Amino acid sequence: MSFSAVVVAAGVGLRAGPGDPKAWRLLAGRPVVRWSVEGLLAAGAEEVVVVVAGDRLAAADEALAGLLGWRAVAGGETRALSVQAGLAALSCGGAQAVLVHDAARPFVTRAHVERLLAALAQADGAVPALPVPDTLKRGEGLIAATVSREGLSRAQTPQAFRLETLVSAYKAWPASEEPTDDASVVERAGGRVALSPGDPMLMKLTYPEDFAMAERLAGAQRIVRTGLGVDAHRFGPGDAVTLGGVKIAHDRGLIGHSDADAGLHALTDALLGAIAEGDIGQHFPPTAAEWRGVSSDRFLLHAVNLARAKGGQIVHADLTLICERPKIGPHRDAMRARIAELLGLRVDQVSVKATTTEGMGFTGREEGLMAQAVVSVEMPA
């Protein structure tokens, strides 16, 4: 089932202590809101609307830079008004499944989403919920009563609904009341809301100590994938070659459908491999006239955008060029700088090496050259 999502990040979060609102604080080096948006995009969200305070629109652009498929809108004075602003900004039809998620629950995954959508198929809404394991007491200072926990659950987010169901339910909700969550709005309107298995990892960041725990958990929520790319091109007539995004004067050129930059082609295939998105030929068929002679920058940037749309963060690239000539050493720093720019990395996260085959094989005979690349991408688990 396809779905869209609304991420609510407009709150102040006073209980989290002094500093920025909790959605904008860093968790393992990334803003908390980015974790939620990345998780939903990686789970297959067709679009994500992020609802922020009016003065945080620019901050959202910075926090979510590089991700595709999202947009930010200003929220209202209450959570309910912010949710409705997010729903109104969606471009999908009324029957579309919509997940409403609190940005302060950063560890949402595809598995959570799939369970919710399966439950939504048989109900008007679905909520991830955990049974209450602790004995409950009512009272202040002294215990007034012990409350049965039988049948009680802790509701989490994201919560799933069809867009038209949730919009209609909010229209019927009394303006003088503030709902505790979106499921209660649908419940009051007569909707049936299913309970889906919750997950302790869907913890909500509320108090300062929650951030300390989340830092310890964050490492378990990201994995590093590695892709390998290989490319080769023949020499032909010309007076220059392009390698690693840098044009180098040479007594011959390279033959290829595009600019024949074997270095960037290998990097593109390595990145596509790391995110399991096929190979360069699937995305840019060599038989297509539109790619004739184009700069290979476009191929690599396309792969970069695919990785970011999946919530991936490129962390390292290693390129090896195999040729007798041209000599790579004088151009190595320029290649590292250009590749770093294309991949959104620091130069110290990019390696460019060169070797020869000691006169052996097609590279040794200077019939052509070859490139091998390894790219590492940190992805949602």
pLDDT band of residue 87 (cuts 50, 70, 90) is: very high
Cα–Cα dist 163/217, whole Å = 32
Question: What does the pLDDT look like over 184-233, one tens digit per residue?
Answer: 999 999 999 999 999 999 999 988 888 888 888 886 567 899 999 999 99
**Neighbouring C-beta atoms of residue 301, cutoff 10 Å:** 16
Length of the chain: 381
Contacts of 282 (CB under 8 A, 6+ apart): none
Q: Where in the chain is the domain with CATH 3.90.550.10?
A: 3-206
Give the phi and the psi of residue 323 in degrees, each rounded to 5: -165, 155
- Pick from 265, 208, 269, 219: nearest CA to 241: 265
| 124-155 residue pLDDT tens | 999 999 999 899 999 998 999 999 999 899 99
CATH annotation of 3-206: 3.90.550.10
Note the CATH number of domain 223-380: 3.30.1330.50
How many distinct helices (H) and strands (E) make up the chain?
12, 19
Q: Cα separation of 56 and 58, whole Å?
A: 5
- Which segments of the chain belong to CATH 3.30.1330.50? 223-380
